[in-house]
């Protein structure tokens, strides 16, 4: 072997006599299959052990908060689809409730039930994707195919309800865009019927799989204290043993009427996060079935929403008052009172919060989006240190984040 | 009595500078910058508000006094209540507040974001860099005097520019940030959806 191709002495020892490899700097992402979007991790490796991990985010920053300051409240609904784009229906609902708190609107029970059903369907859909992607990350490809089959059925139902499979934009301030189609709740129920056995089948591919357990148990352990200190929410927080679920602890949209359990982990590792998500899907199906069973009648739009939502077209064309109102809503936007509100909803990824500062008028003065994925990722520099390089993929998969929401 | 209201009363009794802040939902206080860390620590350690859920910068427009406020939301994982804490930045030109990163490591990223978007500095922050925009970006995009259309800026990768000899070219926007279709009617005129209409195809973007 020529001298210039000789490898460096692999047994070079440091002062204390330990063999120490040269630290290697590795950039993982922003375009890497396991970073689920455009997360970049700048890592320093000592052999295969990660000594430092610095997440670099912002590749998907679109300035949603700036955009929100420049449009009326209802116009911003489609932008909320694109936060956690795996659960747009849940985002729509969280945003709508935040603005409704500002506008002091009473939401009728039928609308609340519709929102609960759609949010829980979104949760199932988001968790199914998270599960499938997590499986792929650690080498279990089959799960992805199973979970996508179920998601496809959900997408059919979403399409029937909202007209869109992916970016639903279903909520409006004070209500939803339209009532549920005839027979839709029955089909939702039928979905739940067949979903539960399919879910067991899907989970059984992972729960006792030797490879999956080896790659997740004890990997990426987050203690209870750390989880709270870093502001983790959602399944990631609960897997660390904190029984916090805003649906239970700070109920909104009528969640207090439904009977469901909050799964809590004990170890805070990747396997616990997987188990918590699996159980959450069962509970979501349980909530949906209760909501469908006692699906209330009545209006699906708040009484006070008349001043916010554009009136029906035939009335606009025939009645002076509706014409003026339509004109005002289109040009000025619905008028909101001044004040500050903060609302968090329990979304699939965690607590999605909206902080709205209003000075009155049709546009928010400031709209801050508290993105659960942003907070969940902020713990990476801590949790990745000391892990093996190959486990980073497992840790990222177990945290189940969405960059669209993290970068906003 | 809810814990949040108790806590706010206790804070007001202890610090003379702490005052009620108008709020439509959760109990809220205004805190002078000098007492901010004391108040946050007291909320965390004495009143059980153990989670910092959100840190939001607010710009009250150029010329307003005070111009910048930072709003913190703390949450109690045991009592399930929020308290809103707002602190004004004394200096409008170089806004600064003490960093809460020593109390909650999660504050690190939130404060970096407020710095990135508003230029508010946090004294004592371990690593105050931009987080969503790139290092070296010259503006603070969520300030009210920053136009919605953006400001033409040299894109970050000097190395690429030096290597290829071509500067980064901004994507064509043909009329505005919310244009629906190109050609024929200028949708930017037909459909004035963006409130910031200070520029269009005929009037160029403001330059830095």
According to DSSP, the residues that pair with A25 across neighbouring strands are A44
For residue B165, the model assigns a pLDDT of 64
Q: What is the ipTM of this complex?
A: 0.84
Q: Is the pLDDT of residue B199 over 80?
A: no
For residue B145, the model assigns a pLDDT of 87
B104·A57 Cβ contact <8 A: no
Domains of chain A: 3-56 (no CATH), 67-305+331-407 (1.10.645.10)
Residue B2: strand, helix, or coil: coil
Give Cα separations from A34 to A390, A391, A395, B103, B110 (angstroms): 11, 11, 10, 32, 25
Contacts of B54 in chain A (CB under 8 A): 342, 353, 355, 368, 370
User: Would you give the DSSP letter of residue B66?
Assistant: S
From the CA of B195, how many Å to the nearest CA of chain A? 5
The torsion of the CA quartet B22, B26, B32, B36, rounded to 10 degrees, works out to -170
pLDDT band at B135 (very low <50, low <70, confident <90, very high): confident
* Contact (CB, 8 A) for A184 and A162: no
B109·A374 Cβ contact <8 A: yes
Q: Which of A68-72, A90-94, A105-109, A331-335 has the lowest mean pLDDT?
A: A331-335
For A333, the token pair is 């936007």
A294-337 per-position pLDDT tens digit: 988 888 887 777 777 777 788 888 888 888 888 887 777 788 88
For residue A210, the model assigns a pLDDT of 87
Contacts of B117 in chain A (CB under 8 A): 65
For A93, the token pair is 């609902």
Half-sphere exposure of residue A242: CA atoms within 13 angstroms, side-chain side:
28
Sort residue A346 into left (φ over 0), alpha (ψ -120 to 50) or beta: beta
Q: Is the CB of residue B179 less than 8 Å away from at least one CB of chain A?
A: no
Tokens 């809103």 identify what position? B84
Burial letters for B132-141: b for 16+ Cβ neighbours within 10 Å, e otherwise?
bbbeebebbb
A173-186 per-position pLDDT tens digit: 888 888 889 889 99
A63·B105 Cβ contact <8 A: no
CATH of B3-123, one of 3.90.110.10, 3.40.630.10, 3.40.50.1370, 3.30.460.80: 3.30.460.80
**Within 10 A of B51 (CB to CB), how many other CB atoms are there?**
27
d(CA A185, CA A178): 14
d(CA A380, CA A402): 14
From the CA of A191, how many Å to the nearest CA of chain B? 34
A211-221 per-position pLDDT tens digit: 889 889 888 89
A100-142 per-position pLDDT tens digit: 999 888 889 999 999 999 999 999 999 999 999 998 888 888 8
Average pLDDT over every residue of B135-148: 85
d(CA B46, CA B39): 10
Q: Is the pLDDT of residue B28 over 60?
A: yes
Q: Which of A58, A342, A343 sits opposite B131 (nearest CB)?
A: A58
For residue B166, the model assigns a pLDDT of 59
The torsion of the CA quartet A97, A102, A107, A111, rounded to 10 degrees, works out to -30
B134·A58 Cβ contact <8 A: yes
Sequence spans of domains, chain B: 3-123, 147-208
Per this entry, what is the length of chain B? 208
Average pLDDT over every residue of A260-282: 92
* Contact (CB, 8 A) for A78 and A92: no
Average pLDDT over every residue of A190-218: 90
Q: Is the pLDDT of residue B115 over 90?
A: yes
Average pLDDT over every residue of A358-365: 86
For residue B168, the model assigns a pLDDT of 55
Tokens 């909803």 identify what position? A345
Q: Is the pLDDT of residue A194 over 50?
A: yes
Q: Which of B82, B130, B148 sits opposite A342 (nearest CB)?
A: B82
Query: For chain A, what percent of residues have pLDDT higher than 70?
Result: 95
pTM above 0.90, yes or no: no
Residue B173 φ/ψ, nearest 5 degrees: -115, -10
Q: Which of A63, A366, A408 sits opposite B58 (nearest CB)?
A: A366
d(CA A142, CA A133): 10
pLDDT band at A19 (very low <50, low <70, confident <90, very high): low
B54·A368 Cβ contact <8 A: yes
């Amino acid at each position: 072997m020529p001298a210039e191709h000789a490898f460096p002495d692999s047994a070079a020892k440091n002062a204390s006599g330990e063999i120490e490899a040269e630290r290697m700097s590795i950039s993982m992402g922003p375009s890497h299959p396991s970073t689920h979007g455009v997360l970049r991790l700048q890592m320093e490796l000592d052999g295969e052990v990660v000594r430092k991990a610095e997440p670099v985010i912002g590749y998907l920053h679109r300035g949603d908060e700036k955009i929100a300051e420049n449009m009326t409240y209802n116009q911003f609904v489609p932008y909320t689809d694109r936060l956690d784009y795996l659960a747009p229906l849940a985002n729509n609902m969280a945003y709508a409730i935040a603005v409704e708190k500002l506008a002091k609107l009473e939401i009728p029970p039928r609308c609340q039930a519709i929102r609960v059903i759609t949010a829980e369907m979104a949760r199932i859909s988001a968790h199914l994707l998270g599960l499938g992607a997590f499986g792929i990350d650690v080498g279990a490809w089959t799960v992805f195919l199973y979970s996508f089959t179920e998601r496809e059925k959900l997408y059919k139902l979403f399409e029937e309800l909202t007209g869109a499979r992916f970016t639903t934009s279903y909520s409006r301030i004070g209500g939803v865009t339209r009532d549920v189609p005839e027979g839709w709740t029955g089909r939702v129920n039928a979905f739940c019927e067949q979903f539960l056995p399919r879910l067991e089948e899907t989970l059984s591919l992972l729960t006792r799989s030797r490879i999956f357990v080896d790659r997740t148990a004890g990997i990426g352990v987050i203690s209870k204290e750390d989880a709270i200190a870093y502001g983790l929410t959602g399944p990631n927080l609960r897997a660390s043993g904190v029984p916090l679920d805003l649906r239970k602890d700070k109920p909104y949209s009528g969640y207090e009427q439904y009977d469901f359990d909050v799964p809590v982990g004990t170890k805070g590792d990747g396997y616990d996060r997987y188990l918590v998500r699996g159980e959450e899907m069962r509970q979501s199906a349980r909530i949906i079935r209760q909501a469908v069973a006692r699906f209330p009648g009545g209006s699906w739009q708040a009484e006070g929403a008349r001043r916010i939502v554009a009136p029906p077209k035939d009335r606009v064309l025939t009645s002076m008052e509706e014409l003026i109102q339509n004109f005002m809503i289109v040009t000025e936007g619905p008028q909101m009172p001044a004040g500050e509100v903060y609302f968090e909803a329990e979304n699939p990824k965690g607590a999605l919060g909206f902080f709205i500062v209003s000075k009155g008028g049709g546009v928010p003065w400031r709209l801050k989006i508290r993105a659960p994925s942003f907070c969940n990722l902020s713990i990476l520099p801590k949790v990745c240190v000391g892990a093996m390089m190959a486990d980073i993929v497992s840790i990222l998969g177990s945290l189940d984040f969405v960059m669209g929401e993290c970068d906003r | 009595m809810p814990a949040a209201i108790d806590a706010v009363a206790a804070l007001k009794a202890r610090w003379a500078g702490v005052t009620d802040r108008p709020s439509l939902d959760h109990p809220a206080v205004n805190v002078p910058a000098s007492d901010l860390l004391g108040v946050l620590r007291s909320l965390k350690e004495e009143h059980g508000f153990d989670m910092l859920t959100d840190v939001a910068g607010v710009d009250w427009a150029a010329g307003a006094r005070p111009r910048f406020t930072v709003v913190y939301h703390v949450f109690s994982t045991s009592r399930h209540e929020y308290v809103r804490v707002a602190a004004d930045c004394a200096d409008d030109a170089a806004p600064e507040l003490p960093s809460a990163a020593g109390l909650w490591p999660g504050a690190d990223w939130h404060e970096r974001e407020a710095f990135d978007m508003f230029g508010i500095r946090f004294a004592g922050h371990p690593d105050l860099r931009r987080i969503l925009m790139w290092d070296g970006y010259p503006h603070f995009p969520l300030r009210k005097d920053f136009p919605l259309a953006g400001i033409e800026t040299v894109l970050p990768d000097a190395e690429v520019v030096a290597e290829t000899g071509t500067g980064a070219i901004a994507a064509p926007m043909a009329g505005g940030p919310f244009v629906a279709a190109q050609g024929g009617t200028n949708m930017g005129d037909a459909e004035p959806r963006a409130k910031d209409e200070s520029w269009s195809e005929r009037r160029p973007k403001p330059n830095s």
